């Protein structure tokens, strides 16, 4: 197995007490720090300019106002004025920590149009699962002066280092909106090294930052951990665009480990493996068609259809020509499969 694949498997071991992998880690004298994979930026990462920042704050303010009490609105207005006239780390930290007490934790419950507006301002921004306190904390962050990148990053580092779970969640949700996004890659990798699922999901799900700023090994770590802890893959932004042969091979190995242990394999796993079908993964499709549940067979059909390979297409026709027809008619898709 390639060294990078070994690192990915051992990475999970240190955080989930997987005894077989811990054994190999100890033999190789590896530690979590030595397993850290340097993050290099993928191409064409997105950024937000000052005009976008103003629009984002405007939308956040409107969504928050619709959910909080008059007293909460008065508190928020005062804190935003304080940050504008007397910006300081102390003022930010106090407001950041106190936000839930004053604005509550009610879900924003954005409409489809509001979510589309968010995406139009910042591609991939999806606050559909955000709460009032998360939106408030992020609005406070975006209200800080950002003309000095070193000072801003230092302030963020202090917040990250002392944050509790709710604060960490808001901080990771903010990553795609923060200025100087290229300087936050390490924090993103820290987010999916955590053993707190809610924090991991904040950076991994409905968040465009990982797809835009993490390199392939780090991205593969994140997707594998999402599968391992049961996070929904369809909510990972850029999942299809960032699929790669190395990840497909790792996920096939993961499926074999699960089968050997008589455990189920998430059907979404094959969404990532399908486009990179090869002679190693093709037998997995045979197994799914011959022994799998209806959902697993539908996943195999979608994977074969996505591969574009003649052998996979023939396999689909041989086992489930009816599913091929449903795919062609748009009656079967990954989104419909996981609904």
Q: Which of 138, 129, 132 is nearest to 198 (CA)?
A: 129
CB-based contact 144:100 (threshold 8 Å): no
CB-based contact 204:231 (threshold 8 Å): yes
Q: Is residue 92 over pLDDT 90?
A: yes
> C-alpha angle 126/73/125, rounded to 5°?
10
Phi, psi of 308 (to 5 degrees): 75, 5
Per cent of the chain over pLDDT 90 is 80
Q: Is residue 20 over pLDDT 60?
A: no
Is residue 210 very low, low, confident or very high in pLDDT (cuts 50, 70, 90)? very high
Q: Is residue 5 over pLDDT 80?
A: no
pLDDT, averaged across the chain? 87
Q: What does the pLDDT look like over 56-75, one tens digit per residue?
A: 999 999 999 999 999 999 99
Q: What does the pLDDT look like over 147-197, one tens digit per residue?
A: 889 999 999 999 999 999 999 999 999 999 999 999 999 999 999 889 999
Residue 224 three-state SS = helix
Query: How many Cβ atoms are within 10 Å of 199's Cβ, its own excluded?
Result: 22
Query: How many Cβ atoms are within 10 Å of 46's Cβ, its own excluded?
Result: 15
pLDDT for 9 equals 53
pLDDT for 145 equals 87
Q: What does the pLDDT look like over 273-309, one tens digit per residue?
A: 999 999 999 999 999 999 999 999 999 999 999 998 9
Q: Is residue 43 over pLDDT 70?
A: no
């Amino acid at each position: 197995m390639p060294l990078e694949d070994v690192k990915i498997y051992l990475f999970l071991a240190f955080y989930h007490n997987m005894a077989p992998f811990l054994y190999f880690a100890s033999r190789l004298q590896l530690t979590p720090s030595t397993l850290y994979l340097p993050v290099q930026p993928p191409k064409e990462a997105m950024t937000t300019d000052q005009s976008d920042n103003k629009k984002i704050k405007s939308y956040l303010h409107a969504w928050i106002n619709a959910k909080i009490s008059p007293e909460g609105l008065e508190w928020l207005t005062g804190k935003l004025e304080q940050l504008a006239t007397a910006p300081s780390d102390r003022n930010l930290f106090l407001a950041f920590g106190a936000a839930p007490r004053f604005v509550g934790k009610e879900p924003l419950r954005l409409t489809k149009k509001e979510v589309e507006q968010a995406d139009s301002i910042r591609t991939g921004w999806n606050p559909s699962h955000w709460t009032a306190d998360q939106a408030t904390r992020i609005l406070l962050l975006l209200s800080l002066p950002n003309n000095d990148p070193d000072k801003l990053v230092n302030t963020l580092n202090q917040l990250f280092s002392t944050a509790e779970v709710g604060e960490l969640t808001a901080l990771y949700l903010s990553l795609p909106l923060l200025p100087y996004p290229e300087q936050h890659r390490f924090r993103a990798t820290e987010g999916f090294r955590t053993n707190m699922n809610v924090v991991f999901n904040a950076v991994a799900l409905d968040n465009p930052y990982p797809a835009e700023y993490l390199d392939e090994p780090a991205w593969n770590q994140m997707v594998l951990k999402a599968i391992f802890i049961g996070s929904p893959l369809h909510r990972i932004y850029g999942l299809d665009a960032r699929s790669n042969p190395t990840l497909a091979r790792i996920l096939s190995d993961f499926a074999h480990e699960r089968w050997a242990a008589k455990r189920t394999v998430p059907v979404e796993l094959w969404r990532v493996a399908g486009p990179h079908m090869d002679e190693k993964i093709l037998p997995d499709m045979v197994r799914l068609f011959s022994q799998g549940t209806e959902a697993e067979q539908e996943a195999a059909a979608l994977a074969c259809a996505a591969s574009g390979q003649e052998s996979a297409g023939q396999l689909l026709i041989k086992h489930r020509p009816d599913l091929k027809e449903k795919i062609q008619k748009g009656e079967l898709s990954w989104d419909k499969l996981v609904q």
